[in-house]
C-alpha cells in the first residue's frame, strides 16, 4: 500500500458482479481533490442469472464467478492497485446460498464481496449521475439503471432525490422467463413482458408522468443507442448521447422485427438480452413520461467509488 500522506494518488479497483456481466474498473484517485478517472477496465459477460435455479446459484456458476474474480484480482495486483473492492447486485441478492458462495470465495481468494441492496444500488446510480452531469443536470427527471436482474429508478427535482425503488425487471431475467428465441421475440412474448413491467410500475404512482430527462444507465440502453446511431462505439463514446423517447421506440420496433440483424451487428455480445430489455425499458420510459433520454456513462461503480472517497475524506 502507498502512503497517501506523501503521494496523493492511488488506484482503486472496483468489481461490479451483476446478473448479466461482471465488470472491473480501476480508478486513478486523487485523494486530495476526490477526482477520479478510469485507468483500466475489464468485462466478462458471465450471465450469472442463467446459473440460478430454485433461488440458488449453481456450483458451475460459482466456479465461473471464482475464475473471473481470480483473473481480475491478478490484473489489479499487476498494476498494482492499492485497494480491491467487489460488490454484487441482483446477481447474488436474495439467493438462499449467497452466504455460502461468499464464504467460499473469501476463503479461496481472500476477497470479501459486499451484496448491496436495490435501494443502495439506486443511491449509487443517482450519486454518480449528479457528479457526472452537475450543472447540466435536468431540473427534473429520473435515473434508470437496467441490469440483468433488476432495474433501479430514482426520481429527482432540483438536484435532490425524491423517490427510489429497485424493481425485479432485468433484461437477462426477462429473456430467461418469457422468451424462447431472444433474436426473434414474438408479439405474444413482447406483450407478456409489457404486461409484467407495467403491472409492477403501476404500484408506484410516484414515478408516473414525471417528465423531464431520463438518464439511462446500463448495457441495454447503450446497445439501443448504438443501433440508433448505426455505429460500433466504445461505451465512453456514448456518455452524454441524447435521444428522444420516439427514437428508442423506433429502435425497439427494429430489433423486434429484423430477425436480430441489428443486434448481431452492433451488440453481438448481448444477443440474448437486447430485445427483451428494449421492450421493458421502453415501458419504463413511457411510464415516467420522459421527454428526453440521455445515456450516462456513470453508474453504480462510479457511485460506489465516490462514496468510498467521501467516507475516507470525512474520516480524516
Domain with 215, as residue range(s), is 130-300
7 CB-contact burial (10 Å; exposed 0-12 / middle 13-18 / buried 19+): exposed
Taking the C-alpha atoms of residue 273 and residue 278, their distance in angstroms, rounded to an integer, is: 8
Which residues face 243 on adjacent strands? Answer: 293
> Domain check: are 104 and 143 in the same one?
no
User: What integer pLDDT is reported at residue 32 of this predicted model?
Assistant: 86
> Domain check: are 294 and 166 in the same one?
yes
Please state, as a whole number, how many other Cβ atoms lie within 10 Å of the Cβ of residue 218. Answer: 26
> Domain check: are 137 and 257 in the same one?
yes
> Domain check: are 177 and 260 in the same one?
yes
CB 277 within 8 A of CB 284: no
Classify residue 305: in a domain, yes or no: no
> Domain check: are 138 and 286 in the same one?
yes
Per-position pLDDT tens, the chain of length 316: 455 445 688 999 999 999 999 999 999 999 889 899 999 999 999 999 999 999 999 999 999 999 999 999 999 999 999 999 999 999 999 899 999 999 999 999 999 999 999 999 999 999 999 999 998 999 999 999 999 999 999 999 999 999 999 999 999 999 999 999 999 999 999 999 999 999 999 999 999 999 999 999 999 999 999 999 986 666 557 999 999 999 999 999 999 999 999 999 999 999 999 999 999 999 999 999 999 999 999 999 999 999 999 888 888 7
Which residue in the block uniquely carries the three cell numbers 426473434? 184
> Domain check: are 207 and 294 in the same one?
yes
Instruction: For Cα atoms 188, 189, 193, give the angle at the middle one, nearest 5 degrees.
Output: 115
User: Treating both helix axes as pointing N-terminal to C-terminal, what angle do 219-229 and 245-257 enclose, rounded to 10 degrees?
Assistant: 90
- List for the chain the helix, strand, coil content (%; round to 5): 45, 25, 30
Classify residue 316: in a domain, yes or no: no
CATH number assigned to the domain comprising residue 39: 3.30.420.40
> Domain check: are 273 and 146 in the same one?
yes
SS3 309: helix
List the one residue out of 164, 174, 136 whose CA is nearest residue 300: 164
CATH number assigned to the domain comprising residue 167: 3.30.420.150
> Domain check: are 156 and 284 in the same one?
yes
C-alpha of 241 from chain center: 17
Q: Edge to edge, what strands does the sheet with 151-157 contain? A: 160-167, 151-157, 140-146, 213-217, 292-295, 242-243
> Domain check: are 146 and 272 in the same one?
yes
> Domain check: are 141 and 282 in the same one?
yes
> Domain check: are 43 and 177 in the same one?
no
- Total structural domains in the chain? 2
User: What integer pLDDT is reported at residue 287 of this predicted model?
Assistant: 98
Classify residue 55: in a domain, yes or no: yes
User: What integer pLDDT is reported at residue 7 of this predicted model?
Assistant: 67
Please state, as a whole number, how many other Cβ atoms lie within 10 Å of the Cβ of residue 66. Answer: 16
Which residues face 39 on adjacent strands? Answer: none
Helix ranges (DSSP H) in the chain: 59-78, 98-109, 118-133, 171-178, 187-201, 219-229, 235-238, 245-257, 261-266, 274-288, 300-315
> Domain check: are 137 and 57 in the same one?
no
Please measure the distance between the N-terminal and C-terminal CA atoms of the chain and give it in whole angstroms. Answer: 18
Q: Which helix (H) or strand (E) holds 83?
A: strand 83-88
CB 295 within 8 A of CB 281: no
User: What integer pLDDT is reported at residue 233 of this predicted model?
Assistant: 62
pTM of structure: 0.92
Among 69, 91, 115, identify where a domain stops.
115
Q: Which three cell numbers stand for residue 81?
A: 492497485
User: What integer pLDDT is reported at residue 312 of this predicted model?
Assistant: 86
SS3 155: strand
Classify residue 2: in a domain, yes or no: no
Backbone angles phi, psi at 41, to 5 degrees: -155, 160
Amino acid at each position: 500500500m502507498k502512503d497517501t500522506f506523501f503521494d496523493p494518488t492511488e488506484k482503486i479497483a472496483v468489481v461490479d458482479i451483476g446478473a448479466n456481466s461482471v465488470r472491473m474498473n480501476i480508478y486513478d484517485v486523487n485523494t486530495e481533490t476526490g477526482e477520479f478517472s478510469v485507468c483500466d477496465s475489464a468485462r466478462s459477460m458471465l450471465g450469472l442469472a442463467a446459473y440460478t435455479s430454485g433461488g440458488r446459484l449453481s456450483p458451475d456458476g460459482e466456479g465461473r464467478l471464482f475464475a473471473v474474480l481470480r483473473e481480475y484480482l491478478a490484473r489489479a495486483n499487476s498494476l498494482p492497485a492499492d485497494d480491491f473492492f467487489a460488490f454484487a447486485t441482483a446477481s447474488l441478492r436474495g439467493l438462499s446460498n449467497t452466504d455460502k458462495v461468499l464464504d467460499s470465495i473469501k476463503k479461496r481468494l481472500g476477497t470479501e464481496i459486499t451484496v448491496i441492496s436495490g435501494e443502495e444500488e439506486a443511491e449509487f446510480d443517482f450519486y454518480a449521475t449528479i457528479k457526472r452531469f452537475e450543472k447540466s443536470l435536468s431540473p427534473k427527471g429520473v435515473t434508470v439503471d437496467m441490469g440483468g436482474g433488476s432495474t433501479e429508478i430514482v426520481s429527482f427535482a432540483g438536484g435532490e432525490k425524491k423517490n427510489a425503488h429497485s424493481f425485479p425487471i432485468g433484461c437477462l431475467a426477462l429473456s430467461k422467463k418469457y422468451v424462447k428465441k431472444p433474436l426473434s421475440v414474438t408479439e405474444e412474448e413482447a406483450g407478456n413482458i409489457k404486461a409484467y413491467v407495467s403491472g409492477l410500475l403501476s404500484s408506484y404512482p410516484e414515478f408516473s408522468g414525471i417528465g423531464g430527462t431520463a438518464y439511462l444507465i446500463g448495457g441495454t440502453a447503450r446497445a439501443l443507442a448504438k443501433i440508433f446511431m448505426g455505429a460500433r462505439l466504445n461505451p465512453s463514446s456514448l456518455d452524454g448521447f441524447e435521444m428522444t423517447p420516439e427514437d428508442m421506440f423506433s429502435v425497439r420496433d427494429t430489433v423486434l422485427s429484423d430477425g436480430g440483424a441489428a443486434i448481431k451487428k452492433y451488440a453481438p455480445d448481448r444477443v440474448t438480452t437486447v430485445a427483451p430489455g428494449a421492450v421493458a425499458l421502453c415501458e419504463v420510459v413511457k411510464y415516467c413520461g420522459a421527454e428526453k433520454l440521455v445515456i450516462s456513462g456513470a453508474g453504480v461503480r462510479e457511485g460506489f467509488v465516490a462514496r468510498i472517497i467521501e467516507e475516507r475524506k470525512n474520516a480524516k
